[in-house]
Structure 1
């Protein structure tokens, strides 16, 4: 069944970004809002302290798990916000590459932010998402 979401390319804006600039959701659709996925293992411990890429991989695995619990997939995501606890642009790029790889050819609109601190000890990465799935 096709997704109710449509990613909207905007030719008037730069194509350097590895995401689309807009998305639409057509009814009938069910929206799924995730909490920020964190780099925690099943026991609640922060994985890979100090390693942005490894934490981003855990975050994306946890995001997929949360979406699946709501009967959604990464390809249903219409918006993400990616938080990186760093003031270094290189760290943001490292995390972004992992997030982009997880989405494959699906390029939902996204915001990438460097922040001072995140909620768990040693946490460097968090990703929240909105997905749209067909009702039925």
Structure 2
């Protein structure tokens, strides 16, 4: 696991976004790494049926696996894109809990999009990410 080098900024001139599971601005020195959309999938890529909360948990497990595959972790994530089918306030609460469980108070920037559907039938949630591979110490 690498050292968290992110600078998280939530200006006083903007609302506090942390109850909603994100930060307004996040920066970090290093190389940008882009993680494609992760969702509740089995080993073949087929969607795993389940309720929204279960799909969120599994999608974040898949995101962690993608990060670990390149030697990174949640502490390297500077931005998330989240996509929720038939978004409502209850789903926002579920997502917020999942984000706080993984990121604590060091939340990445995030854009949430409510969508009518995702790539495959049965998908209820998808997350992509931008992470930063830390610069080598000089």
The reply on whether 1:23 has 2:26 as its aligned counterpart is yes
> Which of structure 1's runs of 4+ aligned residues deviate more than 4 A?
none
Partner of 2:35: 34
Q: 1:1-136 to 2 correspondence within 5 Å?
A: 2-17=3-18, 18-26=21-29, 29-49=30-50, 51-136=51-136
Q: How far, CA to CA, are the matches of 1:24 and 1:63 in structure 2?
A: 20
- Unaligned stretches of 5+ in structure 1? none
The two structures, once aligned, show a CA RMSD in angstroms of 1.8
1:80–1:108 CA contact under 8 A, matched in 2? yes
CA 1:129–1:16 in structure 2 vs 1: closer, same or farther (change >3 Å)?
closer
Q: TM-score, normalised by structure 1?
A: 0.86
Provide the aligned length of Structure 1 versus Structure 2.
133
CA distance in 1, matches of 2:52, 2:116: 14
Question: Which whole-Å CA distance do the structure 1 matches of 2:99 and 2:84 have between them?
Answer: 12
Q: Give CA deviations for 1:21-79 in whole Å, capped at 9, x if unaligned.
A: 001233xx111100011110213232233x11000000000000001111110011000
Q: TM-score, normalised by structure 2?
A: 0.85
- In 2, distance between residues paired with 1:84 and 1:114? 5
